[in-house]
Structure 1
Amino acid sequence: MPLQVPTNIITGFLGVGKTTTILNLLKNKPANEHWAVLVNEFGEVGIDGAMLADGGAMIKEVPGGCMCCTAGVPMSVGINALLRQKPDRLIIEPTGLGHPKQVIKTLTSEQYLNYVDLRATITLVDPRNLSDTKYLSNNNFNDQLAAADVVIGNKVDQCSSEDIDTFNDWVSVQEPALIYHQLVKQGNLPIELLDIERREALTSTIQNEREQQLHDHSDMEPVFELPPEQAYIRRENKGQGYFSCGWIVGAEHLFDFDQLFSMLSDLTAERVKAVVNTTKGCYAFNVSNQVVTVNEISLQGYESRIEVIDSQLLPWAELETILLMLCGIKV
């Protein structure tokens, strides 16, 4: 029998800190191990792959929120490509707007029986969201929590005591009971959690109650690349009540760091992710609830990529004009 690769799904809604968590796990992995990460994004331009590339893992991206579709062709192609590299562990990060049950169904199918050792599904949640009706009424948010073997309450340093009590109360009433739960900050969870075995009963009761909402992206293009003759491109996506717009800008165009930071701080979109070449170097920007987090990364010669997601259709053309101005591209 071929070697089964230990595999974990790390899921959670938009802005909960999945990518930061995976980066922390990569920093703390055994030095002699080679890990692979399959990452899916709702947006079209591929931000997480660039962020995770600094972690030293093998990365494969699936664009446009399609990983969790019933057919799962793009996901299977990505998994197969990574398994051929014989990693010591595979981590799968579905989009924050994805259906984790479909990912579990694929990984536990006969297709991967001899190749994947699926262990605990870890769902990250911001405890503050457990009191917000916008999240509690969202099917995907509830799907992600229902699929979890382990629930991690992230961003505890930003939570009130009431938020923490809500998280603890929610955990205590789950049926079936969770295998493990913990409150952490900045995605710092123990690496040992990856080896917790999943609940077999959860997989056996998976229902496809919303399969009709899913769609086949078997002919979808790969993550968009910038044609050599263009200074930038823009791509949009929509679905599940959300809209996204992404830009790829040539590496030769540098964004003014201070003006970009100020603009992102003022932007009211629910989620912004970016890897940008700036006047101060290459930086990863994460924006959630108008809080901007910035980390310097070591990518060289990589195009700037910016993705904005919101539940309302935003004036993308106006935002584009501002972005191009910040990097000196004449409109």
Structure 2
Amino acid sequence: MTTAKTPAPRTTLNLISGFLGAGKTSAILHLLRHHPAGERWAVLVNEFGEVGIDGGVLEDAGGGIPVREVSGGCICCTGAMNLRVALTRLLREVRPDRLLLEPTGLGHPAGIVDTLRDPWLAGAVRLGNIITLVDPSGFSQERLEQSLIYADQLSLADVVVLNKTDVAPEERIRALEAHLAGLYPPKLAVVRTTRGALDPALLDLEGRARPGGAFTPVQPGAASAEAACPLTTPGLPDHGQAPQADTARGWCFPPELIFDRKGLEALFAAPPFHTLTRAKGVLRTGREWQRLDWAEGRLEITPITWRRDSRLELIAPEDAVPDWTDVETRLRAVTRTG
């Protein structure tokens, strides 16, 4: 009789991203000093230049925690193969419980998330919270408009850490917090800190209700097996408080599910979708992900950096509530598994 092997536990990988000078290395050093004694950690650092600096700093101060470098290119794009090789080697040699991955501040970390969905890596690594550090002193609407990388790092993050708040002007801090509060999907947390003093609990933080938005439970049968998908659109009531007409509904879908963009456009051009009061979502449409926004009878679909999951929230008028089971069936009819 053959006994089935128990799958090896996956390594939890946390991206520690942020623009140049935001304090990523300081934050990782703080995390290493406060990591649980019973856990095996490792660090993988990507430096854009040929000569690595941060890796040496981390290794020297890391108290014996293994540190590896990927130098000479951004692992978000041109260095993706180097990332696969370095990750594979580190996982096999160290077998860490947790891996902190610091990409260069010049890169788009969304490319790393795409790489982690490689079949072998997906079986070995579980993507934990993506932490983005930002120096509020450099925040402005002009910078958001001029730097796609800067905006993308804020959009992709699960948790945003406002670092160096002891030297940043209060008006810049509040402006950044206001911008982050308006992003969709909302963040698990936005916290202030100094000198990279990052609370290790943020690495595994799970969210439901958040200030300014009510949690919308996922409907039975609509969620992925990967438990939590916190839907928190401000103004969209949760189902514990929803009106009797049941006018609001939200779904989460696993990242492996791919939506056909033309199929989505066709859905919103016909009933019951074209009678909706409001629709908002982030959906994977292939290698790319899109933000969907429906208001006043107009559909807008624009690129977004989000990579965590696909999610969609709909609000119908009280006098035209659709059959939500039929709506879900129609949604799933324009998907395929990637």
Tell me the TM-score range normalised by the shorter chain. Answer: 0.5 to 0.7
1:158 aligns with 2:167: yes
| CA distance 1:178–1:106, shift in 2 (3 Å) | same
1:128 aligns with 2:134: no
The aligned counterpart of 2:10 is 4
Q: Deviations over 1:258-302 (max 9, x none)?
A: xxxxxxxxxxxxxxxxxxxxxxxxxxxxxxxxxxxxxxxxxxxxx
Paired residue for 1:187, among 196, 201, 211?
Answer: 196
The aligned counterpart of 1:46 is 52
The aligned counterpart of 2:32 is 26
- Contact preservation (8 Å) 2:16, 2:131: yes
The Cα shift of 1:65 comes to: 2.8
TM-score, normalising length: structure 2: 0.58
CA distance in 2, matches of 1:12, 1:105: 18
Q: Percent identity?
A: 42
Q: Indicate the structure whose relative CO is greater, using CA pairs within 8 Å and at least 6 residues apart.
A: 1
1:80 aligns with 2:88: yes
Q: What secondary structure is seen at the aligned counterpart in 1 of 2:90?
A: helix
CA distance in 2, matches of 1:201, 1:130: 33
| CA distance 1:135–1:174, shift in 2 (3 Å) | closer
Query: Quick check: 105-114 or 23-32, which moved more?
Result: 105-114
The aligned counterpart of 1:66 is 74
Q: What secondary structure is seen at the aligned counterpart in 1 of 2:31?
A: helix
Structure exhibiting the larger radius of gyration computed from Cα positions: 2
Aligned runs of 1:80-119 on 2, under 5 Å? Answer: 80-84=88-92, 85-119=94-128
The aligned counterpart of 1:55 is 62
Paired residue for 1:37, among 43, 47, 70?
Answer: 43
- Contact preservation (8 Å) 2:43, 2:100: yes
The Cα shift of 1:70 comes to: 5.8
CA distance in 2, matches of 1:170, 1:202: 27
- Contact preservation (8 Å) 2:128, 2:204: yes
| CA distance 1:176–1:160, shift in 2 (3 Å) | same
| CA distance 1:29–1:75, shift in 2 (3 Å) | same
Q: What secondary structure is seen at the aligned counterpart in 1 of 2:157?
A: coil
CA distance in 1, matches of 2:143, 2:115: 29
CA distance in 1, matches of 2:255, 2:160: 17
1:13 aligns with 2:22: no
CA distance in 2, matches of 1:202, 1:162: 38
The aligned counterpart of 1:222 is none
CA distance in 2, matches of 1:193, 1:185: 15
CA distance in 2, matches of 1:87, 1:93: 16
The RMSD of aligned alpha carbons is 2.3
TM-score, normalising length: structure 1: 0.59
CA distance in 1, matches of 2:158, 2:202: 10
The aligned counterpart of 2:318 is none
- Contact preservation (8 Å) 1:147, 1:202: no
Q: Deviations over 1:124-181 (max 9, x none)?
A: 1111222263454111111111111111111100111111211221121111111111
- Contact preservation (8 Å) 2:177, 2:190: no
> Partner letter of residue 86 of structure 1?
R
Provide the aligned length of Structure 1 versus Structure 2.
210
Aligned runs of 1:194-209 on 2, under 5 Å? Answer: 194-196=203-205, 205=283
CA distance in 2, matches of 1:83, 1:142: 31
Q: Deviations over 1:154-209 (max 9, x none)?
A: 11001111112112211211111111110111111210111135968795646756
Aligned runs of 1:279-298 on 2, under 5 Å? Answer: none
CA distance in 1, matches of 2:127, 2:111: 14
- Contact preservation (8 Å) 1:5, 1:117: yes
Q: What secondary structure is seen at the aligned counterpart in 2 of 1:49?
A: helix
Q: Deviations over 1:295-322 (max 9, x none)?
A: xxxxxxxxxxxxxxxxxxxxxxxxxxxx
- Contact preservation (8 Å) 1:104, 1:203: no
- Contact preservation (8 Å) 2:74, 2:103: no
| CA distance 1:166–1:144, shift in 2 (3 Å) | same
- Contact preservation (8 Å) 1:130, 1:136: no
> Partner letter of residue 20 of structure 2?
L
